Amino acid sequence: MTTIGLVRHGITDWNVLGRAQGISDIPLNNLGKQQASALANRLVLKGDWDIIVTSDLARAKETGQIIAAKLNLSINVFDKRIREINCGEIEGTTEEERLKKWGSNWRELDLGMEKFDDVSDRGYEFITELANTYSDKRVLVVSHGALIGLTLQRLLPERFQKTQLDNTSITILNIKQGVWNCSLYNCTKHLD
């Protein structure tokens, strides 16, 4: 059985401000670093991980590096396929700014945002490849909320019709004989 832990990165200043981050390379803020450290402390107590893979964006890399240092592991891969959804023209804007600039139907406009199906396709392909490459290993993946959520919806559509992932939440997937299972979803008990 292969186990994959999906971690959403720690919080950033743009998260706090409600700005769409997308592929903008925004670093963790101090709270985000504390969240990553709290998750790292939890992961040390909860068993061995063999491999760490992160998105190549700063907020995921920083989260992964904090965890890797605590687990005495190196990050095996920084992969752009598990970047956040490209938000096109809305990157860096708040909901209020979007309403002012494009009106209440801004979601219906073509503002260069990556399609959800394309995001779920790349997430699905990445996770499937990871499961095949690291069969019977425990792999920690540090990525982004929309990418993780859309990937879960693709892998387990009957369970995940909607998703909401908190910063530094961990979700655990297992695959055995080609069947995916989710044993833990959006858990942040390390932040209590």
pLDDT score, position 146: 97
Three-state helix/strand/coil letters over 15-84: HHHCCCCCCCCCCECHHHHHHHHHHHHHHHHCCCCCEEEEECCHHHHHHHHHHHHHHCCCEEEEEHHHCC
| Residue 81 counted as an annotated binding residue | no
Helix (H) or strand (E) holding 132: helix 116-133
**Is there a catalytic annotation at residue 9?**
yes
| Residue 49 counted as an annotated binding residue | no
pLDDT score, position 39: 97
Q: Using an 8 Å Cβ cutoff, are 10 and 38 in contact?
A: no
**Is there a catalytic annotation at residue 84?**
yes
| Residue 15 counted as an annotated binding residue | yes
- Per residue in 43-97, pLDDT (tens digit) is 998 768 999 999 999 999 999 999 999 999 999 889 999 999 999 999 999 999 9
- Per residue in 136-145, pLDDT (tens digit) is 999 999 999 9
Is the pLDDT at 35 greater than 90? The verdict is: yes
Q: How far is CA 127 from CA 25, 63, 141, 143, in A?
A: 23, 19, 9, 12
Encoding tokens for residue 120? 């779920």
| Residue 66 counted as an annotated binding residue | no
| Residue 122 counted as an annotated binding residue | no
Q: Where are the domains of the chain?
A: 2-88+115-191
pLDDT score, position 89: 97
pLDDT score, position 62: 98
**pLDDT grade for 182, boundaries at 50, 70 and 90:** very high
pLDDT score, position 123: 97
Encoding tokens for residue 3? 């186990």
What's the CA gap between 171 and 186, in Å, rounded? 5
**Residue of 84, 91, 144, 190 marked catalytic:** 84
What's the CA gap between 124 and 58, in Å, rounded? 22
Q: What percent of the chain has pLDDT over 70?
A: 99
Q: Any idea which fold 2-88+115-191 has? A: Rossmann fold (3.40.50)
**pLDDT grade for 28, boundaries at 50, 70 and 90:** very high
Is the pLDDT at 14 greater than 80? The verdict is: yes
**pLDDT grade for 37, boundaries at 50, 70 and 90:** very high
| Look-up of token digits 């779920």 | 120
Encoding tokens for residue 127? 């996770």
Q: Mean pLDDT over all residues of the chain?
A: 96
What's the CA gap between 135 and 45, in Å, rounded? 23
How many C-beta atoms surround the C-beta of residue 100 within 10 A?
11
| Residue 10 counted as an annotated binding residue | yes
